[in-house]
Chains A and B, each alone.
Chain A
Amino acid sequence: MGKTSVGSFLSSTVAIASKDLRSEFRTKEALNASFAFSVVILVLFSFAFDPSSEQLQTISGGLLWVVFSFAGALILNRSFARELQNDCLDALISSPAPTGALFLGKAIANFVLLMIVELASLGVFALFYDSRFGAQLLPIALVIALGTWGITVIGTMFSALTVNLRMREMMLPTLVYPLLIPALMAAMTLTTDLMSGTPIGKDNTIWLRVLIGFDFIYSILSVVFIDVVLVG
Chain B
Amino acid sequence: MSEAPSVAARPGSRNLVEVVLRLREAGVVVFLVVLGLAFGLATDRFLSVQNLTTVASSAAILAIAACAQAIVLITRNLDVSVGSMMGLVAYLTADWAATHPGITPVEVVAIPLMIGTVLGAINGLLVAYGRVPALIATLGTMSLYRGFTYIYAHGQEVTSSRLPPWMLSSVDARIGGLPILILVSIAIVAVVAWLLHAYPFGRRLYAVGSNGVAAWFFGLRAERVVFFAYVACGFLCGIAGLLYAARVGTVTVVLANGWEMSSLASAVIGGVSVSGGSGTVVGAALGAVVLATIDNGLVLLRVPEFWRMFIQGAAIVAAVAVDALIAEAIRRSTGGRRR
A and B co-occur in one complex: no
